[in-house]
Amino acid sequence: MLEIRRAYERGHANFGWLDSWHTFSFGRYFDPQQAGFSDLLVINDDTVQPGQGFGTHPHRDMEIFTYVLEGALEHKDSMGTGSVIRPGDVQMMSAGTGITHSEFNHSNSELVHFLQIWIVPDREGVTPRYQQKNFPAAEKRGHLRMIISPDEYDNSLSVYQDVRVSAGLFDGEERHEKRLAPGRYAYVHVARGEISVNGSRLAAGDGARIRKEEVITFEQGKEAEVLLFDLRANEVPSL
């Protein structure tokens, strides 16, 4: 069963320097029916103007990852990490006992477009950590490439939760089937382009909660980039 949430149904905030679409409740946007799904708490689709960004702010006990679609995002944090995240890069940050960080558009002339995603961890009070890895387009072309997992499967980044995140690029006749283990949920987010998921057509910004499906089929993509979250079978995030 697919429960589709269209891009235009998401929460929206435009502050001039930041244009942000919220798949789930976040900030000033609150919808009790959209308070996350399983351990997936936040998917923010953010576009930041040149030279602008998020000043230093704190996080704790949250798994946060950033997926850049266009442009370059500059990151600095209280762990001493400084990096620039570009398309193909995935940044994973475990806030644990507490960190502060800032994120800015690295360019003074181009926009940066990225997804920031929060996953509720399965434990509190861990030592904060930072990970970053590039996953080339060739590894995602026509199939799903695991980018985050609890056991670092296939050189993916590690997360403190029973969740596995995969990314894929699909166009034309490329087709891929993902089999879910019994009793698992899934969430699909279309980052850009269009694609059919189990026969339902999804476009950029659309998402789908998936329950009681053994196989998820991706096909008929049109310059599509998708994320798939393989999740525990519970409805809302909890620690």
pLDDT given at position 239: 55
196 lies in some domain = yes
pLDDT tens across 189-239, in order? Answer: 999 999 999 999 999 999 999 999 999 999 999 999 999 999 999 877 765
Q: Could you write out the DSSP letters of every residue in 28-75?
A: TB--GGGS-BTTEEEEEEEEE-TT-EEEEEEE-S-EEEEEEEES-EEE
237 lies in some domain = no
- Share of residues in the chain with pLDDT > 70 (%): 99
pLDDT mean over 28-55: 93
Compute the mean pLDDT over every residue in the chain, rounded to the nearest whole number.
94
Q: What are phi and psi of 32, to 5 degrees?
A: -60, -20
Burial of 167 (0-12, 13-18, 19+ CB in 10 A): buried
CATH at residue 211: 2.60.120.10
Instruction: Tell me which amino acid residue 64 is.
Output: I
Segment among 19-23, 24-28, 51-55 with least mean pLDDT: 51-55
> How big is the CA angle at 116 (ends 29 and 78), to the nearest 5 degrees?
110
pLDDT tens across 140-170, in order? Answer: 999 999 999 999 999 999 999 999 999 999 9
26 lies in some domain = yes
97 lies in some domain = yes
135 lies in some domain = yes
pLDDT given at position 208: 97
Q: Give the whole-angstrom CA distance, residue 87 versus residue 127.
A: 28
6 lies in some domain = yes
65 lies in some domain = yes
Domain around 6: 2-231
157 lies in some domain = yes
pLDDT mean over 179-183: 93
pLDDT given at position 235: 75
Q: Give the whole-angstrom CA distance, residue 107 versus residue 175.
A: 36
pLDDT given at position 160: 97
How many domains is the chain partitioned into structurally? 1
- Share of residues in the chain with pLDDT > 90 (%): 83
pLDDT given at position 54: 83
**Residue scoring higher pLDDT (57 or 21):** 21
pLDDT given at position 238: 66
